[in-house]
Every structure is written in C-alpha cells, then in structure tokens.
A and B are shown apart, each in its own frame.
Chain A
Amino acid sequence: MSGKVCREMRREIDQSELRQTLSAEAEAHLAECAACAAFRDERFRLRELVGALEPVVAPADFDVRLRARIARERDTHRQPFIFRLVMSTPAIAVAAVLVMVVGTIVVINQRNRTQTPAVASRGEDKAPVPASTAPEVAVNNDVSPVNGPPVNGTQANGIEEPSVNPPDAPRRLNVIARNNTKSGPATNAVSEVSDSTVRAAQSFQLAPDRAGEVSLSAPVKPMVVTMYDERGGSRKIQLPPISFGSQRLTDNRTPVSMTNTRDW
C-alpha cells in the first residue's frame, strides 16, 4: 500500500468527526490496509477516552461571587482618583520605601551625632593662668567611647567646662573646672591636655584661694584622676562610674595609689 495514500487516509480519519462515516474511497482503503484500520480504531478509542471525561460544572455560588466581584470593581472605580492612586499597590510600596529611607537617615544622623566629638574649648583664652604652685589635677576617662551627651561650654552657674576631642578618634573627655568667682576671671586654668594611653587628659591647676577643690562631670565610665604636687610627685586615683545616688566615690577594695612615683 502506498505511503502517500495511507497518509491521506489517516488525515481524513483524524479530521473526521467521531464515529463519522468516512468517504467510500477511505472505507475501501481501510478494508484493504490493516495498518490504517488499526490507526482508525486507535484514534477513535483515544477520542472516546478524552471525550468521556465527566463534565465539570460551575459551583452554585458562581453568580453570587461574580456579582460581588463586579460590585467591588464598581466601588473601586467610584472612589476618587486620588484615593485610588494613594491606595494602589505601587503607591503603598513607594511610601514604604520612603519611610524606610527616612528612618535610615534619622538613625544614621543620630548615630553620627552621638559619635561626633565635641569641639574642644581650651580655657586658656578665657582664663589666664596665674603663676601658681598649686597642685595640678589631670583627668582621664580611661575606657571606650563615651555615649553620653556632650558637656562643654560655659554652664549657667559660671562653671566652665573645657572639653577636648582628639581629632582622630570619636572619644570625648569632659572635665569641669570651677571658677572661683561667678563673674570675675577664672582662676582655674587648663594647663595641659594629654592622654596617658590613647586620649588626651586634662590638667587643672587649683586656685590658690580654693585649693583642693575641683569640679568634674560625673564619669559614665571609670576614670583615673592623677594629682601632682609642686615637687613633681603624682598619685592616681581611679574613680568608678558615678551616679547621684548613695555610693562611695572611691573603691576601697583597690589600692588608692596605683602608680606612686613617690611616697606621700
């Protein structure tokens, strides 16, 4: 049997309706060609199987749900354009991104503000150093960056606070030296700013008339106070973080003098 004829017959079988009577020519061919007859049976069986799939119907609430969707859509279109624009998904996404960006900027600014070193204001300009033999006091915050609020400038009660900031480190020293008189020129002077380890420490010369009195801001970290006498001797006192409750200023468990250079 010719391949071309078989192809033509099979095309006719394929395109016919299910169980439709084929042309006389095709029927004659099928009677002679077993392969084409088998093809027809196979195709009919296949189409019967596919066509025998049980019908699927829409659910009973199909119309109700559809009406609800249409009504919802109408309501959406009735809303003012600006409302639809604001409530649209892209607008909400843009708003969310804006909120996140603004929040990030605020957090970064706050972090930078707390880490920005306060500008040093040396007390030498304002308070001339009188020749004095009074002992000096050097103050050094000994540990890590201080996160407390910066204290500098002149306070309302006449207390002057020189503060020092190393240019290369976000660290801060806060030292307060009290003027002896509220309106007159300061008799305390900052004579030295140095850091025994990493940072600068501040030095004070005590006023002759108020010898032995110096005001410091309460350290939030342990602080070392070094005192010098006129003969070159020094003593260091470690101060724990101080709150304004009831507590001891010095820790009696540790030796008062850690690095004596001479006996007092």
Chain B
Amino acid sequence: MRTLSSIEELNFAAAMPAPVVVQKASDHALLEETLAGDEDAFAELVRRYRNQITSYIYRMTNDYDGAVDLAQETFLRVYRAANRYQTTHAFSTYIYRIATNLAISELRKRKRRRLVSLTGLLTSGEGDEVRDFDAPDERPLADANLVDTEQRRVVKKAISTLPEKYRAPLVLRDVEGKSYDEIAAILQTSEGTVKSRINRARNFLRDKMRHYV
C-alpha cells in the first residue's frame, strides 16, 4: 500500500486532475456544470482562483490564516449561490466582488474590536482615519536581501494602513493588475471614482514610504 508522503497528495484537484473538457471550459460553463452537480467543475474553478483570491484577501487583511478562511468562505458562497449567478459580468469580477465584501467586512469587524495597536498611531490626511504605522528605520542595511525584505515589510505595512476604500482599488490595480473598468465592476462604483481613489491611495503610500521612493 502506498503511503502519502505529504499533505499535498491530499489535494483533490492535484491527485485527481479534472478531465480535459473541464480544464478547457470557461468559468461560466464550469459554474453551470457545478449547478448541475458536477463536483469536478467546481474543483476546477477553485483551482483557477484559489491563489488569486487568497493573495488578494491577504493583501487586504494582512493576515494569512484569516485570508485563507475568507477565501474558503468566498468559494463557499459561490457554491451556495451558484443558482443566482448571472452571466452579465465575468466570473472573476463576481468572485472578486464577494472576496472584497468579505475582506472589507473583516476589516470593519477588526476596527470595531479595536484590534489596531494603540502604539504609533498616525492620522491620515483626511483627519478621521486613524491608523498605525511604523516609521521606517533609516539606518543603512548591509545586505541587499535585507533591504528588499525591509522594503517589502514597509510596503505591506503601508498598504495595511490605507483606509479600506483606498486599499481595495490600489491592491486590485497595482498588485492584482486589474483594469479600471474591472475594478469599477468589482467595487460597484464608477471608473472615475476608482481612478480618483487609486490616485489618493498612491499619494498616501508615497507619504508613508518617502524614504524608499
């Protein structure tokens, strides 16, 4: 009897690859097949989007375990509401919208719970938003890897301090590489608003990362 060498082998999608037909099907077709009871079709949808959604939620919440949970909740909602899905938008827009709503909801819950550290509070330019932020250490670092690591840490921290209404469009644009009209569809707002918010978000980041830009 063959024994499992790693948890990776428990991955259904990897252990039992979906049929070629399923792999080539569009997202819409996969969702229709899921609705008809085809588990492989849903597994293929999960395989296509699990990393993107996990990464996106992680950039929004800055918490990996929470991001994985929320990503699973996103797929669960897709599965539950498969019969209500309308093909007027791309499936990616639909699933990103669910993920965005869950992430923003989580951020609001955190704000209510006052999980934000009370140390190093800074106020934003808008006055009403209070966020924590570590000032960058300006001492020179010896190793280029250390510099990169420090830069990434500062960028992540700076993104996590953005107000949620600016964070979502910035992450979708500069991290996920979505177009403006896609972002507008995901956030259910106008393209002009998206552009304006991205511009403001970048200005915030520039202020936070003045020593790195």
Contacts and interface: CB of A to CB of B under 8 A. Distances in A.
B213 A58 contact: no
Contacts of A27: none
A64 B50 CA distance: 12
B97 interface: no
A43 B79 contact: no
Contact of B213 (A45, A61, A67): A45
B201 to A, nearest CB: 10
Contacts, number: 97
A interface majority secondary structure:
helix
A70 interface: yes
Contact of A54 (B43, B54, B152): B152
Contact of B151 (A47, A49, A56): A49
Contacts of B121: none
A232 interface: no
A53 B198 CA distance: 18
Interface string B165-177: 0000010001101
A50 B159 contact: yes
B195 A58 contact: no
Interface in A30-45: 42-43, 45
Interface string A63-97: 11111011001000000000000000000000000
Interface of B: 6-8, 10-13, 43, 46-47, 50-51, 53-55, 58-59, 64, 67-68, 71-72, 75-76, 79-80, 151-152, 155-156, 159, 170, 174-175, 177, 180, 195, 198-199, 202, 205-206, 209, 212-213
Interface of A: 11, 14-15, 42-43, 45-47, 49-67, 69-70, 73
Given A51-B174, A57-B55, A63-B46, 15 more contacts: A14-B202, A46-B206, A46-B209, A49-B213, A51-B177, A53-B175, A55-B55, A56-B58, A56-B67, A62-B71, A63-B13, A64-B11, A65-B72, A66-B75, A70-B76
